[in-house]
Structure 1
Amino acid sequence: MTEIRRGTLHTETFYERVGGEPTFRKLVKRFYQGVADDPLLRPMYPEEDLGPAEERFTLFLMQYWGGPRTYSDNRGHPRLRMRHAPFTVDRAAHDAWLRHMRDAIDTLGLAQEDEAELWRYMQYAAGSMINTPG
């Protein structure tokens, strides 16, 4: 009998389970389509083109969920609260962000458990970015 060495057994990551890079690219593309026309959120993206923000968010989510570490290789530690500190993120911005994210998640056709896990994380992340009362 051949023994399996410790640390060699592959376990599937959430990233792999939900379809990898194409899934996260689709999610973030749809999300930013909503942000582009949102009068509350669009000013939080000072770049003329949302493309760079879309790419950063895609890479972050891919890494967070077990994909390649490209985000950290390029940008270092995520420091999400610090990166969002210059912007007013109140309950209205939180709600608008989640509205667009919910719409984007709904387009993915994920298994119920995976969709629920992704949504829980997005709710947590949105809540942790609030930096202004109201």
Structure 2
Amino acid sequence: MKQTPTLYEWAGGMPVFEQLTTMFYKKVLQDALLEPIFKHMAPQHQQHVAHFIAEVFGGPKAYTEAGGSHFTMIRKHFSKHLTEQHRKRWVALLLETADEIELPGDPEFRSAFVAYIEWGTRIAVLNSNTDHIDLAEHEPMPRWGWGETGGPYQP
């Protein structure tokens, strides 16, 4: 029986996620709405985000092995005061970039990809408007697949 590939494998592996985030953050730094938020990001920010998304999509644990965790990613958003307008622009630029690098366009992959981006960015907005969450520091990284849902959101 043929094994279903992870989203990470289907997308093309780490080089694809690194290309996605590199090209995406170039756009972010040229965007009037998002540039003020990201203009001081660390030089390795794009790579960290690539490794985080790749790990969530079933790839290697590069983000975790570099000392990151779901909690540390969430904490990076504290007190950033992101708005729905920021979130929508971030998503639009990321999806535009996904098309440009020809991330797989099949409905199943794109549905899973967009679902994660929507979920993650909405969580980021919520967490950006607080300075505390009730989440254990060693909470496991989310794992995203081909359509599983976590049920209704529960803060």
TM-score (normalised: structure 2):
0.70
In the alignment, does 2:72 pair up with 1:77? no
Deviates more, 1:117-126 or 1:106-115: 106-115
In structure 2, distance between residues paired with 1:46 and 1:59: 20
Aligned residues: 123
Structure 2 residues without counterparts, runs of 5 or longer: 130-155
Task: Say which is worse superposed, 71-80 or 52-61, in terms of deviation.
Answer: 71-80
1:10 Cα offset (Å): 5.8
Q: Is the 8 A contact 2:28 2:38 kept in 1?
A: no
Normalised to the residue count of structure 1, the TM-score between the two structures is 0.79
Structure 2 partner of 1:59: 51
Identity of aligned residues (%): 22
Richer in helix (by share): 1
One-letter amino acid matched to 1:124: W
Report the Cα distance in structure 1 between the residues aligned to 2:92 and 2:103, rounded to whole angstroms: 17
Deviation at 1:47, TM superposition (A): 3.0
**Aligned match of 2:115:** 120
- Structure 1, unpaired ranges of 5+: 1-8
Q: Residue by residue, what CA displacement relative to the aligned partner does 1:23-70 show, whole Å, maximum 9, x if unpaired?
A: 21222122112101112222222536x631101101111111111111
Q: What is the rounded CA distance, in whole Å, between the counterparts of 1:61 and 1:127 in structure 2?
A: 15
Match of 1:5 in 2: none
For residues 109 and 45 of structure 1, the distance between their equivalents in structure 2, rounded to whole angstroms, comes to 24
State the Cα distance separating 1:130 from its structure 2 match: 1.3
Q: 1:28 aligns with which of 13, 21, 42?
A: 21
Residue deviations 1:93-128 (CA, integer Å, cap 9, x gap): 111111111211222241221122101110111111
Could you tell me how far 1:88 is from its partner in structure 2? 1.5
Change (3 A) 1:76 1:33: closer
- Give the distance between the partners of 1:62 and 1:105, measured in 2 at CA: 14
The separation in 1 between residues aligned to 2:125 and 2:14, in whole angstroms, is 28
* Residues 83 and 91 of structure 1: CA distance in aligned 2, closer, same or farther (over 3 Å): same
